[in-house]
Structure 1
Amino acid sequence: MSRIGKKPVTLVKGASASISGQTIEVKGPKGTRSFTAGDDVTLTIEGDAIKVTPRGLSKRARSQWGMSRSMIQNLVTGVTTGFKKEMEIQGVGYRAAAQGNVLKLSVGYSHEVNFEVPKGVTVATPKPTEIVVEGIDQQEVGQVAANIREWKRPEPYKGKGIRYKGEFIFRKEGKKK
């Protein structure tokens, strides 16, 4: 029995859901998202809750059960509150500036890096050393944050680079005489 799958997904105020076949569409104040579940699970709406039940006892049906419930929960969370990744930049002269859908990064290269932000994701820079990535799709927000981080990963000697807020970087000791 799936502990996650057994819990119904409650629709918070302002969100509505509709099911057509194996596709569920959730609408909220931030937008609309949909998810197509596999044939191993059944989706039902009961009042203000969405229930996911397996169609059999096979291993695949049980694994799809919990995964489908988690995906639907992420849809509801995304269209109501959204997802956010906060990042910080450390290093002398390292900074970022958001201009429209372009993020300009100065991270130690001889030139400024222009990062194109995809649609559905917003990038803000409240301070020159902070980057906030927001959107309604958790996977897309995480991927954009990872792509930004790839431009200058934190190095272990001085800790310079782009890191997630609260991320611990294991520091190494430098050369000894």
Structure 2
Amino acid sequence: MSRIGKRPVELPKGVTATVSGQTVEVKGPKGTRAFTATDDVTVAVENDAIQVTPRGTSKRARQQWGMSRTQVANLVTGVTEGFKKELEIQGVGYRAQVQGKVLKLALGYSHDVEYAIPEGIDIVCAKPTEIAITGIDQQQVGQVAANIRDWRRPEPYKGKGIRYKGEYIFRKEGKKK
């Protein structure tokens, strides 16, 4: 039995949900998001809450039960609070700045890296060494953060590069004489 799937997803004030077939559409103050569940689960809106129940007792139905409930909960969180990822840049001369819909990164290459900010994502650089990525789609926010981090991953000797805020980098000892 799914412990996650048993709990209904509560709808806060100002959030409405509609179910048509297997598609759940959630509208809130930050926007609208939709999710299409598989045929292994049933989705229903009851008493200001969304309930997900499995159809049958097969292993796949039980797997989809918890996953679908989590996806619906992420829709509700996205349209109310949104999602945020923070990146830190470490290294001499490494910096970032937002110019319009483009993120410019100076990462020690012979040229500046320009990253076009996708639709639905907001990027803010409070300091030249900090990047905050926000949006209502958790998957998109995480993918944008991963794409930016891929330009210069943190290296293990000096720790230079782009890392997630609070990420621990395993440091290696250099050559000894």
Q: TM-score, normalised by structure 1?
A: 0.99
How far 1:128 sits from its partner (Å)? 0.3
Partner secondary structure for residue 39 of structure 2: coil
Give the letter aligned to residue 45 of structure 1: V
Q: How does 1:24-173 map to 2 (within 5 A)?
A: 24-173=24-173
Listed as ranges, the gaps of 5+ residues in structure 2 are none
Partner secondary structure for residue 141 of structure 2: helix
For 1:112 and 1:57, the matched residues in 2 are separated by 55
Partner secondary structure for residue 145 of structure 1: helix
How far 1:136 sits from its partner (Å)? 0.4
Post-superposition CA distance 1:136-170 (Å, at most 9, x none): 00000000000000000000000000000000000
Partner secondary structure for residue 139 of structure 1: helix
For 1:34 and 1:158, the matched residues in 2 are separated by 43
Identity %: 73
After superposing on structure 2, the runs of 4+ consecutive aligned residues of structure 1 that deviate more than 2 Å are none
For 1:118 and 1:4, the matched residues in 2 are separated by 32
Partner in structure 1 of residue 9 of structure 2: 9
Q: TM-score, normalised by structure 2?
A: 0.99
Partner secondary structure for residue 119 of structure 1: coil
Give the letter aligned to residue 19 of structure 1: V
Listed as ranges, the gaps of 5+ residues in structure 1 are none
How far 1:14 sits from its partner (Å)? 1.5
Give the letter aligned to residue 149 of structure 1: R
For 2:7 and 2:95, the matched residues in 1 are separated by 44
For 2:111 and 2:58, the matched residues in 1 are separated by 55
For 2:40 and 2:114, the matched residues in 1 are separated by 44
Post-superposition CA distance 1:54-87 (Å, at most 9, x none): 0100111111100000000000000000000001
Partner secondary structure for residue 141 of structure 1: helix
For 2:158 and 2:110, the matched residues in 1 are separated by 20
For 1:101 and 1:60, the matched residues in 2 are separated by 42
Total equivalences in the alignment: 177
Give the letter aligned to residue 144 of structure 1: V
